[in-house]
A and B are shown apart, each in its own frame.
Chain A
Amino acid sequence: MADTPQIVMDERVKQISPMRRAMIRPELGGIVGTIAVFVFFGLFAFDSGMFNSQGIMNWSVVSAQFMIIAVGACLLMIAGEFDLSVGSMIGFAGMMMAIFGVTLGWPMWVAILVTFALCISIGALNGFIVVRTGLPSFIVTLAFLFILRGFTIFLPQTIERKTIIGGIREAAEGDWLAALFGGTIGKGFFTWMGEAGIIATFERGTRAGEPVVNGIPMLIVWALGLVVVGHVLLTRTRFGNWIFAAGGDAEAARNSGVPVNRVKITMFMFTAFCATVFAACQVMEFGSAGADRGLLKEFEAIIAVVIGGALLTGGYGSVIGAALGALIFGVVQQGLFFAGVESSLFRVFLGVILLFAVILNTYIRRIITGER
């Protein structure tokens, strides 16, 4: 073996076209889907009020809700795990805030902080059980789906003899931390837009002259904030590389010195954090906590993430993609309502687009890894 091989470009490796290069970006499906959805509703529901200030706010809020939980689910899925207890966690977190803040009468900020601590601990417990037992996270978090939902129904019934606890808005009045979840920002700007005639204002009644949309809800601020933080964390930090590695091949990552267990547990905690943010915004908006809140949210989050280009098997995906998936979700759900389409068809749409997204993702995965 005296001859050292020359550096020759293998003639069988074709230069990939820019088209194909764009194909393997995980966000592609999300971008195409978002454009398609807006074109569709722009053509068929433009006059329905979907694109005036109120309409935009309507689907933005719904999309933002999906986005908050999708960011958590996305990072967790890239790290190679699922959390099916997200929906129950939302119900549970809202109920605990109500019990601490209303029934027990604690100051709202204490109630919120204690709930966050409690829920993040449960997320850590989920993660701990998964990494310690090596069981699929699917089954471990399915158990917590039932455990948390059970408590969410049991606790208010035992304490208050009802399944909805109200009076949160009153309890949160003037609370500094509650305002971070319940309030709006940019009031002055919207008042100015109303006065300048850019957006509609109330014409009659006690609020005549005020704009119909009087600010951006904190829910949307949280959603955008989480998307930015999630995206930067995943693509621009050392920890982000560990998330990809943990989901791509846990054993290989361990051999290279990546603390896989710590990464996974942290991602379970982050998912629980996102669910609790969702719950906090929801109870502040409704002024009450109900035992059935957050039903099926875990699946909606996973669907948004998959539409956004993440692989169910982990190791690949994008937070921006997941956010676009959530946007598609919100726009279609509310758009069908504006377009006057029977709302049950939304589920049909959801099933179809999920199937389509999964098939597309599998195909993209083959391109990346060069499998046939």
Chain B
Amino acid sequence: MTQPLIQMKNIEKHFGSVIALAGVSVDIHAGECHCLLGDNGAGKSTFIKTLSGVHKPTRGEILFEGRDMHFADPRDAIAAGIATVHQHLAMIPLMSVSRNFFMGNEPTRKIGPFSFFDHDLANRVTMQEMEKMGIVLRGPDQAVGTLSGGERQTVAIARAVHFGARVLILDEPTSALGVRQTANVLATIDTVRKQGVAVVFITHNVRHAMAVGDRFTVLNRGRTYGTAKRGEITPEELQDMMAGGQELATLESSLGSTV
């Protein structure tokens, strides 16, 4: 097996007396979709924030391409190629897709001593990238507000990849979406993975995870229960690990179906 892009070894994160992460180890490879499952309060958010440079781990080490990494702030992580697509998207509904796509990274063209926003280039690139992801826009000047939630996720993902993300952290991208939109986002994840980007897909929905995941890591009460490969584990087993086993099994038998 090739060297992992990112290795996180025994990460611990304490907030005062609260132990949010109590020794988490995960490795992420280029071109794979690594699903991180966990129920609410399992430490998913803390884990993402540690990976994306928002928090510094209390103990443990992060290796990026085999080298020790210390991110001072999120900008360091972004510069290294670790991009996060948040639940609350970095998209502005009133602005056009192309203005959003290049927000913070505007292409400029110099005319004399002044540099201007290169709208032609921005529009062209936006249309191309959207086409690759399977989104048909009326035009690059269409406002993001008119896109569906799934399409917005896809724009955000396409943007991160276009600007050189090598690791893409998706924080519950499907949690607020309908069935069809979820399918679109999962298809986007698949497209991105094939381009050689490492995807960290955080979710608490086992079915979504099983649909695209190559490997699965379950977080529970700040610990990892190990990583399983696709085909080595059933959805039921994942669900049990997330919930901590027994209680859910009892609950399930009384409800008579899969939760």
Asked whether A and B interact, the reply is yes
> B117 is contacted by which of A240, A249, A365 (Cβ under 8 Å)?
A240
> A252 is contacted by which of B89, B102, B105, B117 (Cβ under 8 Å)?
B89
Q: Is the CB of A5 within 8 A of B99?
A: no
Q: Is B121 an interface residue (CB 8 A)?
A: no
Q: Is A236 an interface residue (CB 8 A)?
A: yes
Given contacts A4-B190, A315-B92, A368-B145, whether A238 and B108 have CB atoms under 8 Å apart is yes
Q: Is A160 an interface residue (CB 8 A)?
A: no
> B146 is contacted by which of A255, A315, A369 (Cβ under 8 Å)?
A369
Number of residue pairs A-B, CB distance < 8 angstroms: 98
Q: Is B245 an interface residue (CB 8 A)?
A: no
> A370 is contacted by which of B95, B104, B146, B191 (Cβ under 8 Å)?
B146
Given contacts A238-B117, A369-B146, whether A7 and B184 have CB atoms under 8 Å apart is no
Enumerate chain A residues within 8 angstroms of B116, measured Cβ to Cβ. 232, 236-237
> Could you tell me the distance between the alpha carbons of A258 and B116 in the complex, rounded to whole angstroms?
17
Given contacts A1-B186, A253-B103, whether A238 and B92 have CB atoms under 8 Å apart is no
Q: Looking at B136, B145, B190, B211, which has the most chain A CB atoms within 10 Å of its CB?
A: B145
CB distance from B20 to the nearest CB of A (A): 22
> Could you tell me the distance between the alpha carbons of A152 and B221 in the complex, rounded to whole angstroms?
63
> A244 is contacted by which of B86, B99, B191, B212 (Cβ under 8 Å)?
B99
Q: Which residue of B lies closest to A365 (CB)?
A: B94
8 Å CB interface, A211-239 against B: 232, 236-238
> Could you tell me the distance between the alpha carbons of A237 and B111 in the complex, rounded to whole angstroms?
11
Q: Is A251 an interface residue (CB 8 A)?
A: yes
Enumerate chain B residues within 8 angstroms of A253, measured Cβ to Cβ. 90, 92, 103-104
Q: Is A206 an interface residue (CB 8 A)?
A: no
Q: Is the CB of A1 within 8 A of B136?
A: no
Q: Is the CB of B187 within 8 A of A4?
A: yes
CB distance from B170 to the nearest CB of A (A): 14
Query: What are the interface flags for A253-267 relative to B under an 8 Å C-beta threshold, 1 for contact and 0 otherwise?
Result: 101111000000000
Q: Is the CB of B104 within 8 A of A15?
A: no
Q: Which residue of B lies closest to A314 (CB)?
A: B94
Q: Is A173 an interface residue (CB 8 A)?
A: no
> Could you tell me the distance between the alpha carbons of A253 and B93 in the complex, rounded to whole angstroms?
12
Q: Is the CB of B92 within 8 A of A252?
A: yes
Q: Is the CB of B212 within 8 A of A241?
A: no
Q: Which residue of A lies closest to B145 (CB)?
A: A369
Q: Is the CB of A252 within 8 A of B90?
A: yes
Q: Is A9 an interface residue (CB 8 A)?
A: yes
Query: What are the interface flags for B124-162 relative to A under an 8 Å C-beta threshold, 1 for contact and 0 otherwise?
Result: 000000010010101000010110000000000000000
CB distance from B129 to the nearest CB of A (A): 14
Given contacts A1-B186, A1-B212, A368-B146, whether A241 and B102 have CB atoms under 8 Å apart is yes
> Could you tell me the distance between the alpha carbons of A1 and B92 in the complex, rounded to whole angstroms?
30
Enumerate chain B residues within 8 angstroms of A9, measured Cβ to Cβ. 136
> Could you tell me the distance between the alpha carbons of A237 and B190 in the complex, rounded to whole angstroms?
35
> Could you tell me the distance between the alpha carbons of A85 and B236 in the complex, rounded to whole angstroms?
64
Given contacts A257-B75, A371-B145, whether A315 and B95 have CB atoms under 8 Å apart is yes
Q: Is B106 an interface residue (CB 8 A)?
A: yes
> Could you tell me the distance between the alpha carbons of A12 and B134 in the complex, rounded to whole angstroms?
17
Interface size on B, residues (CB 8 A): 38
Q: Is A32 an interface residue (CB 8 A)?
A: no
Q: Is the CB of B187 within 8 A of A368?
A: no
Q: Is B183 an interface residue (CB 8 A)?
A: yes
> B211 is contacted by which of A1, A255, A368 (Cβ under 8 Å)?
A1
Q: Is the CB of B145 within 8 A of A249?
A: no
8 Å CB interface, A1-20 against B: 1, 4-5, 7, 9, 13, 15-16
Q: Is the CB of A5 within 8 A of B183?
A: yes
Enumerate chain A residues within 8 angstroms of B212, measured Cβ to Cβ. 1
Q: Is A245 an interface residue (CB 8 A)?
A: yes
Enumerate chain A residues within 8 angstroms of B95, measured Cβ to Cβ. 244-245, 248, 315
Given contacts A258-B103, A368-B94, A371-B145, whether A15 and B117 have CB atoms under 8 Å apart is no
Q: Is B91 an interface residue (CB 8 A)?
A: yes
Q: Is the CB of A238 within 8 A of B106?
A: yes
CB distance from A304 to the nearest CB of B (A): 21
8 Å CB interface, B209-239 against A: 211-212
Enumerate chain A residues within 8 angstroms of B191, measured Cβ to Cβ. 4
> Could you tell me the distance between the alpha carbons of A371 and B145 in the complex, rounded to whole angstroms?
8
Enumerate chain B residues within 8 angstroms of A241, measured Cβ to Cβ. 99, 102-103, 106, 117
Q: Is B115 an interface residue (CB 8 A)?
A: yes
Q: Looking at B90, B117, B131, B184, which has the most chain A CB atoms within 10 Å of its CB?
A: B90
Binding site for A on B (CB under 8 A): 75, 78, 86, 88-95, 99, 102-106, 108, 114-117, 119, 131, 134, 136, 138, 143, 145-146, 183-184, 186-187, 190-191, 211-212
Binding site for B on A (CB under 8 A): 1, 4-5, 7, 9, 13, 15-16, 232, 236-238, 240-242, 244-245, 248-249, 251-253, 255-258, 311, 315-316, 365, 368-371
Query: When A and B form their complex, which 6 residue pairs have the shortest distance between CB atoms, in order from nearest?
Result: A369-B145, A257-B104, A248-B92, A255-B90, A238-B106, A256-B104
23 contacts between A and B (CB under 8 A): A1-B187, A1-B190, A5-B187, A16-B138, A238-B106, A238-B108, A240-B117, A241-B117, A242-B104, A244-B95, A245-B99, A245-B104, A251-B88, A252-B89, A252-B91, A257-B78, A258-B103, A258-B104, A368-B143, A368-B145, A368-B146, A369-B94, A370-B146
